């Protein structure tokens, strides 16, 4: 297989095709537009449909409609568009409609800096839609990983019937890396669950399978059923019955439990480490280099890199980092995922946020500087 | 027996509509058409937004989708493109389709996908308690225009026609016989078909404007000719000598019908099915 020079956005589009994506509905926005442009070009040749919608609400709406028709559907956007999509992300969670949403992060709030990188959407991805909801958010750190995680995202979306967000930033979107992109085999692609009952008046579309996932048919499969953003019973019909609502909410949360096992965090040189750095996405690349440079100077540093930002792999996080005195969390925001680290680590661990704003990526030197106060005196100058 | 009755989901009854609400008449008319046109509802999808009118899709035993406020047409667009063989009917209200969803409506008309959109126009936001809608006539009282409405209203049919719809019609809950024909023709039309259907909100619009009960409102739909002759005022201020409300006349029936390639034809989607083989 040949090595090619591919950008993150192109890798995302090609990962979607490899995953069997056959519907894209989108709206132009920097720095994600190349995902749409690439798919506009290649989807028709892969029995897929591309449609440019009138705004981001409509983009995700069209994706959800296509998915209910049986398509593997996706959209891509950036911060302001991601904000507009929150309504339909909440809808997709409650109505259990598989979909993939790519968010290429740029500087916010508001229009911010349209083509400069940031990691500012981490909390928006978690809490942007009203109400309680679990959401799968994947954070690739390289062009190759964008490709792979786009495939993962479709697999998770289909198997768990839930929206999956793939988040990276402007630098990863536009930079090119030499990669070999090998498509997954047919068996590596996961399918949505099949209905558990036969069609008929007593059919329950929201009857969960053993994974806790509603085993729904597609529209036009010969089943008659109702899909709504209202709280609903197993038939999909609206309800205000408190026990039914509690049961539904618990199931929607529980079905996400396997995710941290499917996408475990990367542990890099953590085994004997005395200082841990926690970083994801683009920032993890310089964090890795900082760890190596600290090691070169005799400082036992290691990197903990979550590949799944939500739901949090809390058990692994606590097991791995609970023994440290200090954990440094560099992020290109005012400190978002650091709150997760704080929440799941014992209070004896000192968790320190190192924030960078302004639309420039974090540098290795800045992470080294951020670690300086935790390095014992006598270590060669950092 | 009403031929549409077997299409209603008995376990969703009783429905949520208020006594005298015009929406029930439109629902009844719609299921009559569906029962006549389709031997099975397997390939029929009904997609709705949010509001009293949008709730009616839940009562029909088909593929039914109750989406978000104003955005039913975007879901319908994705569904129809992925499964062009399905008959997709969108149910919306005036607040849903012309207020929060106005942008989706004009773009759906422009795309000319083979969808049918039925807009239940009761000139108010019923479900939220009778507030000002983009269709509320001048001077009408709503819960957010306690001193009377000062904004001009939309003509939904003209708007959608200008946006590129290839079939536009207007009907009334007052004349279900004509409405039945209109819905049937709209579904038969190849391309984006749009119906502006006058229904009435007895509970809020009727009460706030002292227009009487459900039947008074229905009859007011019929008295428009006289209003034109008198050339006076704005409904609901306008009343006949007996004090009954007179509605301004707007054209009814098929208002616009042309042929233009549909989006699925332009995309070459004949026989397409997005489901996994
Ligand atoms: S609130 Fe108005 S529109 Fe809604 S069901 Fe009642 S009468 Fe009909």
Tell me, what CATH number does B51's domain have? 3.40.50.970
What pLDDT sits at residue A73? 98
Sheet holding A275-278, edge to edge: A266-268, A301-305, A275-278, A326-331, A350-355
In a domain, B105, yes or no: yes
Residue A127 neighbours by CB distance under 10 Å? 14
Q: Per-residue confidence at B234, pLDDT binned at 50, 70, 90? A: confident
Give the percent of chain B with pLDDT over 70.
96
pLDDT tens track for B11-31: 999 999 999 999 999 999 999
Task: pLDDT band for B228, please (50, 70, 90 cuts).
Answer: low
Residue A62 is nearest to which of B43, B65, B78, comparing CB atoms?
B78
| Facing A49 at nearest CB: one of B45, B81, B86 | B81
Write out A263-298 in H/E/C secondary structure. CCCEEECCCCCCEEEECCHHHHHHHHHHHHHHHHCC
- How confident is the model over B166-204, as pLDDT tens digits? 999 999 999 999 999 999 999 999 999 999 999 999 999
Mean pLDDT computed over every residue of chain B: 94
**With the C-alpha atoms ordered B89, B91, B94, B96, is the resulting torsion angle positive or negative?**
negative
- Within 6 A (CB) of ligand 1 lie B 17-18, 21, 23, 52, 122, 126-127, 201-204
Q: What is the pLDDT of residues A145-170, one digit of tens each?
A: 999 999 999 999 999 999 999 999 99
Q: How far apart are CA A211 and CA A365, in angstroms?
A: 45
Q: How far apart are CA A62 and CA B75, in angstroms?
A: 4
Residue scoring higher pLDDT (B182 or B246): B182
Secondary structure element (H or E) that encloses residue A315, with its range? helix A314-321
State the Cα–Cα distance between residues A79 and B253, nearest whole angstrom.
45
β B253-257/B167-172 pair status: antiparallel
Check pLDDT > 80 for residue A138.
yes
The arithmetic mean of pLDDT across residues B75-86, rounded, is 98
Q: What's phi and psi for A99, nearest 5 deg?
A: -165, 160
Provide mean pLDDT across the span B41-45: 98
Cross-chain residue pair A65–B86, CB shorter than 8 Å: no
Residue pLDDT, tens place only, A174-209: 999 999 999 999 999 999 999 999 999 999 999 999
Assigned CATH topology for domain A264-372 = Rossmann fold (3.40.50)
CATH of A4-188, picked from 3.40.50.300, 3.30.70.120, 3.40.50.1820, 3.40.50.970, is: 3.40.50.970
Is B206 part of any domain?
yes
Q: Which residues of A touch B68 (CB under 8 A)?
A: 57, 61, 87-88, 91, 229
Cβ of A219 within 8 Å of Cβ of B269? The answer is: no
pLDDT value at B32 more than 60: yes
* pLDDT over threshold 60, residue A381: no
Measured CA to CA, the distance from residue A45 to residue A37 in angstroms comes to: 14
The runs of H, that is alpha helices, within B118-233 are 156-163, 176-188, 207-208, 214-222, 224-230
Structure tokens given for A30: 């920097």
How many other β-carbons are positioned within 10 Å of the β-carbon of residue A269?
17
Contact, A329 vs A335, CB < 8 A?
yes
What is the CA(A118)–ligand 1 centre distance, in A?
A: 47
Q: In chain B, which residue's Cα lies nearest the Cα of A70?
A: B275
Distance between Cα A319 and ligand 1 center (Å): 57
The partner residue sitting opposite B78, judged by closest CB among A65, A191, A230, is A65
Q: What is the mean pLDDT of residues B87-97?
A: 98
Structure tokens at A298: 């005799």
Choose among B58, B86, B276: nearest Cβ to A237: B58
CB A355 within 8 A of CB A334: yes
Per residue in B105-146, pLDDT tens?
999 999 999 999 999 999 999 999 999 999 999 999 999 999
The average pLDDT across A243-262 equals: 98
Residues of A in contact with B42 (CB under 8 A): 220, 222, 224
B231 vs B190, which has greater pLDDT? Answer: B190
The answer as to whether B134 is a domain residue is: yes
CB within 8 Å: A224 and B62: yes
- Residue A332 · residue A356 · CB < 8 Å: yes
Mean pLDDT of A329-338: 98
Q: Could you give phi then psi for residue A136, rounded to 5 degrees?
A: -90, 120
- Give A116→chain B minimum CA distance, Å: 30
Q: What is the pTM of this model?
A: 0.97
For residues A291-309, give the mean pLDDT.
97
For chain B, give the number of residues.
277
The residues spanned by each domain of chain A are 4-188, 264-372
Average pLDDT score over residue span A116-141 = 97
- Is the pLDDT confidence value at B1 over 80? no
Read off the pLDDT band of B4 (50, 70, 90): confident
How far apart CA A90 and CA A86 sit, in angstroms, is 6
Determine what percent of chain B is predicted with pLDDT higher than 90: 84
Looking at residue B249, its pLDDT comes to 78
Asked whether the beta carbons of B70 and B106 are under 8 A apart, the reply is no
Specify if B109 maps to a domain.
Answer: yes
Would you say the C-alpha torsion A328, A329, A330, A333 has a positive or negative sign? negative
Mutate-to-test residue for ligand 1 from B14, B123, B204, B207, highest number of ligand atoms within 8 A of CB: B204
Give B243's pLDDT tier (boundaries 50, 70, 90): confident
d(CA A12, CA A51): 17
Q: Do domains A4-188 and A264-372 have the same CATH topology?
A: yes
Residue B232 pLDDT class (50, 70, 90 cuts): low
Position B163 pLDDT exceeds 60: yes
Q: Where does residue B231 fall: left (phi above 0), alpha (psi -120 to 50 degrees), or beta otherwise?
A: left
Q: Give the gap in angstroms from C-alpha A213 to the nearest C-alpha of chain B.
A: 19
* Range(s) of the domain holding residue B221: 5-261
Among the atoms of ligand 1, which is closest to the Cα of residue B18? 6
Mutation test residue for ligand 1: of B203, B211, B218, the one with most atoms within 8 Å of CB: B203
3-class state of residue B195 by DSSP = strand
Quick one: average pLDDT of A32-46?
98
Output the average pLDDT for chain A.
97
Give the closest-approach CA distance of A42 to chain B in angstroms. Answer: 14
Query: Is the pLDDT at A121 greater than 90, yes or no?
Result: yes
Comparing CA positions, the residue from B147, B128, B126, B129 lying closest to residue B138 is B147
Mean pLDDT of A208-226: 97
Helix (H) or strand (E) holding A19: helix A8-19
Number of domains chain B contains: 1
């Amino acid at each position: 297989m040949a090595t090619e020079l591919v950008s993150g956005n192109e890798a995302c589009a090609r990962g979607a095709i490899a995953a069997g994506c056959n519907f894209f509905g989108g709206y132009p926005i920097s720095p994600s537009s190349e995902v749409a442009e690439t798919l506009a070009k290649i989807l028709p040749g892969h029995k897929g449909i591309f449609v440019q919608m009138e705004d981001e609400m409509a983009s995700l709406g069209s994706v959800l409609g296509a998915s209910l028709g049986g398509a593997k559907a996706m959209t891509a956007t950036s911060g302001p568009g991601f904000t507009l999509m929150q309504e339909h992300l909440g809808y997709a969670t409650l109505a259990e409609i598989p979909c993939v949403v790519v968010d290429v992060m740029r500087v916010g709030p508001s229009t911010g800096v349209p083509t400069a990188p940031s990691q500012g959407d981490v909390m928006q991805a978690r809490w942007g839609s009203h109400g309680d909801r679990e959401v799968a958010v994947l954070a690739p750190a390289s062009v190759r990983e964008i490709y792979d995680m786009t495939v993962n995202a479709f697999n998770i979306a289909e198997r768990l019937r839930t929206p999956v967000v793939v988040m990276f930033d402007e630098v990863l979107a536009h930079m090119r890396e030499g990669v070999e992109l090998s498509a997954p085999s047919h068996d590596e692609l996961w399918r949505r669950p099949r209905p558990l009952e036969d069609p008929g008046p007593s059919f329950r579309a929201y009857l969960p399978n053993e994974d806790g996932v509603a085993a729904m048919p597609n529209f036009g499969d010969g089943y008659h059923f109702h899909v709504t953003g209202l709280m609903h019973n197993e038939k999909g019909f609206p309800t205000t019955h408190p026990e039914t609502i509690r049961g539904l909410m618990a199931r929607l949360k529980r079905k996400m439990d396997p995710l941290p096992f499917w996408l475990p965090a990367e542990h890099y040189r953590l085994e004997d480490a005395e200082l841990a750095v926690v970083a994801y996405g683009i920032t993890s690349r310089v964090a890795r280099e900082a760890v190596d440079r600290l090691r070169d100077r005799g400082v036992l540093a290691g990197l903990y890199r979550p590949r799944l930002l939500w739901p949090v792999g809390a058990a692994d996080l606590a097991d791995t980092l609970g023994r440290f005195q200090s954990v440094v969390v560099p992020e290109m925001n005012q400190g978002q995922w650091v709150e997760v680290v704080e929440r799941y680590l014992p209070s004896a661990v000192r968790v320190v946020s190192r924030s960078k704003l302004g639309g420039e990526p974090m540098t290795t030197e800045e992470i080294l500087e951020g670690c300086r106060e935790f390095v014992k005196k006598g270590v060669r100058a950092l | 027996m009403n031929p549409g009755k077997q299409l209603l989901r008995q376990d969703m009854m009783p429905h949520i509509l208020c006594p005298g609400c015009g929406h029930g008449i439109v629902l009844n008319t719609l299921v009559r058409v569906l029962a006549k046109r389709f031997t099975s509802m397997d390939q029929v999808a009904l997609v709705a937004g949010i509001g009293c009118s949008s709730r009616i899709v839940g009562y029909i035993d088909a593929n039914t989708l109750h989406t978000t406020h104003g955005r039913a047409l975007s879901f319908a667009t994705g569904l129809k493109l992925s499964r062009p063989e399905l008959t997709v009917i969108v149910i919306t209200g005036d607040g849903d389709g012309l207020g929060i969803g106005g942008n989706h409506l004009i773009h759906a008309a422009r795309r000319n996908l083979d969808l049918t959109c039925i807009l239940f126009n009761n000139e108010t936001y019923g479900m939220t308690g009778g507030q000002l809608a983009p269709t509320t006539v001048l001077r009408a009282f709503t819960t957010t225009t306690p001193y009377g409405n000062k904004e001009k209203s939309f003509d939904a049919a003209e708007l959608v026609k200008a946006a590129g719809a290839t079939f536009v019609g207007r009907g009334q809950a007052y004349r279900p016989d004509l409405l039945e024909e209109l819905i049937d023709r709209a579904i038969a039309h190849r391309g984006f078909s749009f119906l502006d259907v006058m229904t009435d909100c007895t509970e809020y619009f009727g009460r706030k404007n002292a227009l009487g009960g459900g039947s008074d409102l229905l009859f007011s739909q019929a008295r428009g000719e006289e209003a034109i002759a008198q050339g006076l005022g704005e409904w609901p201020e306008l009343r006949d000598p007996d004090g009954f409300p007179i509605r301004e006349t707007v054209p009814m029936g098929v208002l616009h019908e042309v042929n233009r390639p549909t989006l699925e034809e332009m995309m070459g989607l004949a026989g397409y099915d997005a489901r996994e083989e």
